[in-house]
Amino acid sequence: MESTVPTTRIETLLVANRGEIARRVIRTCRDLGITTVAVYSDADATAPHVDEADLAVRLPGTAPADTYLRADLLVAAARATGADALHPGYGFLSESAAFAADVLAAGVTWIGPSPEAISRMGAKIEAKRLLAEEGLPVLRRHDPHEVTEELLPVLVKASAGGGGRGIRVVTELAGLERAVASAGAEAAAAFGDPAVFCERYVRHGRHVEVQVLADTHGTVWTLGERDCSVQRRHQKIIEETPAPGLHDRLRTDLAAAATRTARSVGYVGTGTVEFLVEPDGAFWILEMNTRLQVEHPVTECVTGLDLVAWQVRVAEGARLPADAPALRGHAVEARLYAEDPAAGWRPSPGALFALDVPGVRAEFAPLPEPGVRLDAGVRGGAQITTSYDPMLAKVIAWAPDRGEAIRRLAATLRRTRLHGVTTNRDLLVRILTSQEFTDAELHTGFLDGPVLADLARPLADAAATRLSALAAALADAEANRERAEIWADVPSGWRNLPSQPQVKGYRDTTDTDIEVRYRHTRAGLRVENHPGIILAEASPRRVVLIEDGVRRAFDVTAYQDLTCVDSGLGAVRLVPLDRFPDPAARLDPGTLLAPMPGTVRRVVVAAGDTVEFGQPLLWMEAMKMEHRVTAPVAGVVSVLEVGPGAQVEAGAVLAVVDPRP
């Protein structure tokens, strides 16, 4: 698609962000012939975006407040490297009008809307007032102290930022004060602004948004709508375009409202107008994100546009063609997070040993034809820390129709090798293959209630896990045999006389212990409780078993203290058990350990307090979210080891509750 000759030419661009969005911007700049500058915290010194940029500048420290939220350091980095443009990505300072103004004052081109537009749309309280004055549909804003029983349920929302941070649902007035404090603290940590407000909470509404692209010459495009209703903790995990099940009139009305919103502030660049669509088709504008969205790849798939390239062209003064491109097919995106959905979305920091997505046709760039795209912020071998968002990657599938796109994405995720940290991969596959999702029965409460427990189950059931443990034990035996060269031609565990079986123990992700007992006989492999299994092939990395005439291959990868088994039955993570555990390592049942490294933000009990099982005792902050830590048993708090502000490592003792007799 052609544009007019730009009025300025960007030569060097600094990406004021990290992770996959930094890599995404760098990829497009490379294609455009623009020199790139990365910035990095100490935790990101070996991150991929640092290696891929032409230049890089260190931001001393680890915490966002000391690094990626320091406008002065980012502007200084642009000056030091001669950057004539700055792309803010999303999150951090991407919607800070003050930062945009500082960049422009330094003589650097800001890749985004004007500071005035950011200020009017980025501060949600002011934006609601403006949109209401324009006659656009918005939910009424309430100050927290105005909320009464009649207004419940309400949503407490941060005025600044986005990405699901600083949002709480309040169903009882008694919980309002705590929700306001929690949302404000989370917003302050993520965006530097603790301001919050309340609005009516619509149950079973759909989160639908319209992508906007506008130039400096008055042209405003809308590029279809995306459904982002499947969310956890008010943060999207699956997005798709076009939004399924909307009638044409509603699509037209949403696009018109998005266009009016953009024109009301003289918007320039990419932006997204987010709507809450009620079951009867009524809709409300939630907010306008004055930046590129995380889910922009699905729009790139169906339009064929490189939205980052157009951000740069628009900043250079180029003119959009009169008509937006026609949409083609359907695209679905899933966000892979380092977290445990079955444990209250607990973050999962640690080593990511492998991240291998099969069949990828493009990375960080529009797909040339239907297929799978990958935008990953990390590679295998990375250390996932609690300092930043837990998103590892986005996997996107594009196909001629919705059904094929869903099937392709689910199959790709199922076959992905993900070793190390716990992820939400199995949950994503279960969502994509659920009847409710395929029937487009979508709403923001999709994962609420008991449905989550069912969808969060591992793809591999108990029987599949036991078979995977057998494969792991046999692969381990083969590795031992290879190390003992004198027995290289003899199966591990073989005896010329009857003997006791070989025994190997594992613990799976549900904390279930599995004991594998097998022996090699003259008639072949004999497995206790599995008399019909035949061993067809065994090596340290691959085991093939035949059960009831069905042949299955298991790929086994052993790491220190972790064995990962991949097969068509589902991926299985196993922790090898010590045959002779140290009795001193056992903990009392009332010992409360830190589930992750992080910072203790609030403590609501004291030594001597009586507590119930599951009662909140304290809140920790990790991966830019607050996480509740609850009593492991009912009883009396006898020991309290931490207070607000304490930095703790995973496994540290936080408190001890003496169980109630």
Judgement on whether residues 244 and 296 belong to the same structural domain of the protein: yes
Judgement on whether residues 560 and 641 belong to the same structural domain of the protein: no
Residue 651 domain flag: yes
- The CATH number given to whatever domain includes residue 252 is 3.30.470.20
Question: Residues with Cβ < 8 Å from 612, sequence gap 6 or more?
Answer: 631, 634
Query: What is the DSSP secondary structure assignment for residue 279, as one 8-state letter?
Result: T
Residue 3 domain flag: no
Judgement on whether residues 270 and 221 belong to the same structural domain of the protein: yes
Residue 5 domain flag: no
Judgement on whether residues 220 and 344 belong to the same structural domain of the protein: yes
Residue 6 domain flag: no
Judgement on whether residues 212 and 281 belong to the same structural domain of the protein: yes
- The CATH number given to whatever domain includes residue 470 is 3.30.700
pLDDT along the chain (661 residues), means of 10: 68 98 98 98 97 98 95 98 98 95 98 96 83 92 90 87 77 91 83 85 92 97 98 94 97 98 97 96 94 97 98 97 97 97 92 98 96 97 92 98 98 98 97 97 92 94 96 94 65 54 92 91 81 92 95 97 97 89 63 87 91 90 81 91 89 90 73
Judgement on whether residues 274 and 410 belong to the same structural domain of the protein: yes
Q: Measuring CA to CA, how many Å separate 442 from each of 228, 306, 434? A: 9, 28, 11
Judgement on whether residues 509 and 638 belong to the same structural domain of the protein: no
Judgement on whether residues 222 and 344 belong to the same structural domain of the protein: yes
pLDDT given at position 220: 98
Residue 116 domain flag: no
Q: Residue 638 belongs to what H/E stretch?
A: strand 635-640
- The CATH number given to whatever domain includes residue 71 is 3.40.50.20
Question: Residues with Cβ < 8 Å from 294, sequence gap 6 or more?
Answer: 21, 90, 163, 236, 335, 391, 394
Q: 434, 455, 476: which is the final residue of a domain?
A: 455
Judgement on whether residues 426 and 548 belong to the same structural domain of the protein: no
Q: 111, 130, 149: which is the final residue of a domain?
A: 111
Judgement on whether residues 46 and 82 belong to the same structural domain of the protein: yes
Judgement on whether residues 362 and 431 belong to the same structural domain of the protein: yes
Judgement on whether residues 448 and 471 belong to the same structural domain of the protein: no
Query: Number of structural domains, the chain?
Result: 5
- Specify the residue for token string 């008694």: 174
Q: What is the pLDDT of residues 453-477, one digit of tens each?
A: 999 999 999 999 999 999 999 999 9
* Distance from C-alpha of 411 to C-alpha of 409, rounded to nearest angstrom: 5
Residue 7 domain flag: no
* Distance from C-alpha of 206 to C-alpha of 40, rounded to nearest angstrom: 37
Q: Which domain holds residue 269?
A: 121-139+202-455
Residue 297 domain flag: yes
Q: What is the pLDDT of residues 420-442, one digit of tens each?
A: 999 999 999 999 999 999 999 99
Dihedral angle at the C-alpha atoms of 565, 567, 570, 572, nearest 10 degrees? -10
Residue 84 domain flag: yes
Q: Is the pTM of this model over 0.75?
A: yes
